[in-house]
Amino acid sequence: MLVAIITFIIVFGLIVLVHEFGHYYWAKKSGILVRQFSIGMGPKLVSYTKNHTLYTIRLLPLGGYVMLAGAEDDDEELKPGTIVGLQLDSQGKVIQIDNSQKENNADLIPLQVAQSDLQKELYLEGYVSGDDQNLQRYIVDHDATIIDESGSEMQIAPLDVQFNSASLLNRFLTNLAGPFNNLVFGIIVYIISAFLIGGPLSSGNKLGEIQAHSPAANAQLQPGDQILQVETKKVTNWDQLAQAIAQRPGKATTLTIRKADHKVQKITVKPKTVKNGKDTIGQIGIMPQRNHQFGPTLKYGFTSAFNSMGIIVNALKRMVSGGFNINQLGGPVAIYSQTSQVAAMGYKQVIIFIAWLSINLGIMNLLPIPALDGGKLLLNIVEAIRRKPVSQKTEIIVNLVGVVFLLGLMIAVTWNDIMRFFIK
């Protein structure tokens, strides 16, 4: 169980990291202030600030987020009457505003705020403690920081570094970058897995992987052995071989094989009985040999990735056309259950699972549902068509509806997963 939990944290954390790094990278490239880059949710475990961005790892490994200035509900304006401490640079500009309400600091100038503008004109006006007659005005540095009431320090967000001040193209690319990263990462990991496991399966009758503790393993069959005959039936390709063994569930079966040293010998195996739908077939735990040449292996990695994309897209189409069934969806509980099963199969299967999950997350995030990246991209497209942005009020309402919908769906899916996987 411990291995499953650790694997789940690594798998889920890695995929979230790749996704959020996409948003983070393009926001930085577009000149948007990234307030926070967080992996996980809930209370902070570790935090580190660099170049005005707070990097955090949080307790619950169930997601993550990138907080962009202007894209969130920023409320930096200081209310009149608020007492703050000001730190000035050598030219008299404010470089830090302490609003944490902590004990007086002799190194800070205590100011009772009369009015402020930390987005456009960048100034503070107020009364220095002990002098309530003379209104003082301070220019605030563009990169000044503010310490909020919780003690967290962040950079102020002038209009030019806010999300909505970026060009439409840069906002579109920032929203797209997360899912795009997941798709590219999934393709890369599929290619890596192809080189670890091997390329496309051969159609010949030579053996590749032998399943541990299977009838084939017990009979000392080895990768590279070539099965020439099943009982009296000659086999020249894998389809013939698989069909001949499938017809003999539970029956002692004589195989004629050619070993790696070209010696031909006969061995006896007893195929295990396996249910295949309504049919009963025989299996001995063998796989065909794989092609390990560079070109076919590279192509196989790409093909595996795009096949996964096709499977996920077709599944979504069936959900829309054939009626919604909550069992077709899975949340963190389902991912944990699948991770647990995959972890027991070895690290190679975990790598394939990472690739599949990353592509799945990328495609799901592109769905045009408010609050998902796809919903934000749809608003960008609407803005491009209308040649003016959607009103802030409309955008807030649309995103709120999306959040409520996704929250309700997540609760329903999680409860359904618990019933499916843990309460039989």
Catalogue the active-site residues: 20
Q: How many CB atoms sit inside 10 A of residue 417's CB?
A: 21
DSSP-derived pairing of the beta strands 136-147 and 94-98:
parallel
As to burial, measured by CB atoms within 10 angstroms (0-12 exposed, 13-18 middle, 19+ buried), residue 323 is: exposed
Nearest Cα residue to 259 out of 295, 234, 223, 288: 223
DSSP-derived pairing of the beta strands 272-276 and 53-68:
unpaired
Asked whether the beta carbons of 251 and 269 are under 8 A apart, the reply is: no
The distance of Cα 224 from the centroid of its chain, to the nearest Å, equals 39
Nearest Cα residue to 18 out of 346, 355, 329: 355
DSSP string, 87-153: EE-TTS-EEEEE-S--S--TTSEEEEEEEEESSSS-EEEEEETT-SSS-EEEEEEEEEEEE-TTS-E
CB proximity list for 282: less than 8 A, separation 6 or greater:
245, 246, 247, 248, 249, 250, 251, 253, 271, 272, 273, 274
Tokens of 348: 């190679």
